[in-house]
């Protein structure tokens, strides 16, 4: 083979070797040199951090550490890596769990792989192995690598892909995005949102912080829930004004749709069953199942249907409380979620028995071993309500009818009595005028306190009272008008006696305006008592009031007659 042909073959090989050997160097990020003075004051750590800028993180960043003013026998330790958050906390959070980072090592080159642009805080320790004195250095490193966007930029990009819709729809989509792009970190190294959004891995804190950042950028109210005794973190999410618990970590199990959404929008009670140390957090208390995935997907309705026949049988038997056993034998955590959601569905359904609606309340309870029951309490409508109302209505109607009839009779009686009184008043005025007496003289003049009344005969008062009583009683009879007309006719043909004059006078007073108010009131009261069928005390009252009213009217007339007689001059 000629030399020329050999060059043609070897040249490409040299190029390949060069590229191969040179690629790792170009893939490495820039090295960062760190000098630590072992004689430095302890406050130097806080007051004099080292600030560096890195423009490429295509590979691990090497921190090359040099110790000065020591024995030269050193060990080195990368203790802490944190990333500054500008959206939620406005402070640094752990990228890696410090306890998971390698401990002290003899090599002075400490390496860490960064995956996003941003501002980091790195803490490096150096120990003098001769004196066992140690110092630490804080490095503030700013990464500006266009090929490695920041965590916030990645979150913005994810939210931009989220379709519109309700808060429930968006929260569900973001929940599913996290599960589809993340695998659980069983090395337990990466703990923040940086890991989930830019590394595709993380532990529960990484899941929760990443989901929190996505929800915040999507405009959905949320918070972090920490169960420190159990070492677990998840999210609280506000859907339509109610708070729910969401655990992306426990949903990331590689199962079917129900298994990967069992902790999407659940209650504090469900989370407490799974994590006994959990208690409702002020401001994030979760009691509703309205936005629960099992309810929204229709799965809860299927579980609720297991109880339909049993419920109806107990309703028809009028049982006020009863329990039914679930049919499915899921693992205890899923079973708690499934039948708690079924209880919610049962509580929003309507129930009836015998054509009447009843009120039913279902609650699901389960022990630590997964043995549970659906418990029911029922309120039935009052059976006597309709009958009682009908009886009251009927009684009221009859009472109203009777009252109306009596009022009509009273009006007719009053009308007849009024007509009779007017005729008698006209007749009395004619008689009074003929006797030379003033018919307009008032009752006040008749009852002058200076007038003498000692000459009135007791017998005359008794007779006058009886006549007045008969006049009042006549007004309450159904045929009072006819009797009054007959009596008036007889009075016109017969000689006017003193008793007849007294009777006529009583009738005149009873029907003559304000002077007859007392007698008229007494007569009306008597009518009311008699017309309403008064018994017992009512009849006694009527028997007393009628004679008193008649006696009073007779007395007034006698006094008036006596006064007129005295005032008339003798011929």
Q: What is the pLDDT of residues 364-382, one digit of tens each?
A: 999 999 999 999 999 999 8
User: Averaged over 3-21, what is the pLDDT?
Assistant: 43
Task: Please state, rounded to an integer, the average pLDDT across all residues of the chain.
Answer: 78
The answer to whether 81 and 94 have CB atoms below 8 angstroms apart is: yes
Would you say how long the chain is, in residues?
571
pLDDT computed for residue 547 by the predictor = 73
- Residue 191 CA to residue 203 CA, distance in Å, equals 6
Name, in order, each residue with C-beta under 8 angstroms of 408's C-beta and a sequence gap of 6 or more: none
pLDDT computed for residue 546 by the predictor = 77
Please give the residue that has the higher pLDDT: either 414 or 319. Answer: 319
Q: 57 — phi, psi (to 5°)?
A: -130, 40
pLDDT at 470 over 70: no
pLDDT computed for residue 566 by the predictor = 58
pLDDT computed for residue 379 by the predictor = 97
- Residue 34 CA to residue 51 CA, distance in Å, equals 10
pLDDT at 281 over 80: yes
- The string of DSSP letters for 465-506 reads HHHHHHHHHHHHSTTHHHHHHHHHHHHHHS---HHHHHHHHH
The answer to whether 112 and 60 have CB atoms below 8 angstroms apart is: yes
pLDDT computed for residue 28 by the predictor = 59
- Residue 149 CA to residue 198 CA, distance in Å, equals 9
pTM of the model as a whole: 0.64
Confidence of residue 565 (pLDDT cuts 50, 70, 90): low
Pinpoint the alpha helices (H) of 244-361.
Answer: 248-251, 268-274, 293-297, 299-304, 308-316, 332-348
Pairing verdict, β 134-143 and 50-54: parallel
pLDDT at 244 over 70: yes
pLDDT computed for residue 295 by the predictor = 98
Helix (H, G, I), strand (E, B) or coil at 508: helix
The answer to whether 208 and 191 have CB atoms below 8 angstroms apart is: no
Structural tokens at position 283: 């401001």
The answer to whether 289 and 338 have CB atoms below 8 angstroms apart is: no
Q: What is the pLDDT of residues 110-129, one digit of tens each?
A: 999 999 999 999 999 999 99
| Range with lowest mean pLDDT among 40-44, 158-162, 566-570 | 566-570
pLDDT computed for residue 199 by the predictor = 97
| CA 238, chain centre distance (Å) | 17
Please give the residue that has the higher pLDDT: either 220 or 9. Answer: 220
- Residue 330 CA to residue 340 CA, distance in Å, equals 13
User: Averaged over 241-267, what is the pLDDT?
Assistant: 97
User: Averaged over 84-105, what is the pLDDT?
Assistant: 95
Confidence of residue 431 (pLDDT cuts 50, 70, 90): very low
């Amino acid at each position: 083979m000629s030399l020329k042909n050999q060059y043609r073959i070897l040249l490409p090989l040299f190029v390949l070797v060069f590229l191969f050997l040179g690629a790792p160097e170009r893939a490495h990020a820039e090295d960062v040199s760190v000098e630590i003075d072992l004689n430095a004051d302890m406050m130097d750590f806080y007051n004099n951090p080292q600030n560096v800028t890195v423009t490429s993180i295509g590979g691990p960043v090497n921190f090359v550490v040099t110790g000065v003013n020591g024995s030269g026998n050193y060990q080195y330790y990368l203790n802490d890596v944190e990333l500054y958050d500008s959206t939620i906390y406005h402070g640094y959070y752990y990228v890696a769990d410090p306890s998971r980072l390698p401990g002290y090592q003899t090599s002075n080159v400490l390496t860490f792989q960064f995956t996003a642009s941003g501002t980091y805080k790195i803490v490096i320790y150096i120990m003098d192995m001769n004196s066992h004195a140690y110092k630490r250095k804080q490095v503030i490193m700013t990464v500006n690598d266009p090929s490695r966007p920041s965590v916030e930029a990645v979150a913005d990009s994810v939210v931009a892909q989220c379709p519109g819709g309700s808060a429930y729809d968006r929260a569900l989509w973001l929940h599913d995005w996290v599960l589809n792009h993340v695998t659980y970190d069983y090395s337990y190294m990466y703990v923040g949102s940086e890991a989930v959004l830019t590394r595709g891995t993380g532990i529960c804190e990484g899941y929760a912080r990443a989901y929190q950042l996505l929800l915040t950028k999507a405009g959905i109210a949320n918070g972090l829930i920490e169960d420190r005794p159990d070492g677990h973190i998840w999210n609280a999410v506000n859907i339509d004004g109610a708070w729910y618990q969401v655990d992306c970590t426990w949903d990331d199990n590689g199962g079917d749709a129900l298994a990967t959404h069992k902790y999407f929008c659940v209650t504090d009670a469900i989370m407490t069953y799974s994590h006994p140390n959990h208690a409702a957090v002020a401001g994030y208390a979760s009691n509703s199942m309205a936005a629960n995935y099992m309810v929204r997907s229709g799965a809860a309705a299927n579980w609720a249907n297991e109880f339909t026949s049993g419920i109806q049988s107990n309703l028809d038997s009028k049982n006020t409380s009863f329990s039914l056993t679930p049919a499915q034998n899921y693992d205890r955590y899923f079973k708690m979620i499934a039948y708690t959601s079924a209880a919610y569905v049962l509580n929003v359904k309507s129930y009836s028995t015998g054509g009447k609606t009843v009120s039913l309340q279902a609650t699901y309870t389960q022990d630590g071993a997964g043995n549970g029951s659906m418990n029911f309490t029922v309120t039935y409508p009052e059976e006597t309500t309709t009958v009682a109302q009908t009886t009251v209505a009927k009684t009221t109607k009859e009472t109203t009818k009777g009252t109306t009839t009596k009022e009509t009779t009273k009006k007719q009686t009053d009308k007849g009595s009024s007509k009779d009184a007017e005729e008698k008043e006209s007749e009395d005025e004619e008689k009074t005028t003929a006797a030379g007496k003033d018919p307009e003289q008032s009752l006040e003049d008749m009852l002058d306190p200076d007038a003498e009344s000692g000459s009135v005969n007791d017998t005359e008062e008794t007779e006058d009272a009886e006549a007045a009583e008969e006049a009042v009683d006549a007004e309450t009879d159904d045929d009072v008008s006819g009797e009054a007309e007959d009596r008036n006719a007889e009075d016109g043909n017969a000689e006017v006696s003193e008793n007849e004059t007294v009777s006529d006078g009583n009738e005149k007073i009873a029907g003559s305006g304000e002077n007859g108010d007392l007698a008229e009131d007494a007569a009306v009261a008597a009518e009311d008592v008699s017309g309403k069928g008064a018994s017992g005390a009512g009849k006694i009252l009527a028997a007393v009031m009628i004679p008193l009213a008649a006696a009073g009217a007779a007395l007034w007339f006698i006094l008036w007659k006596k006064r007129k007689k005295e005032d008339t001059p003798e011929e």
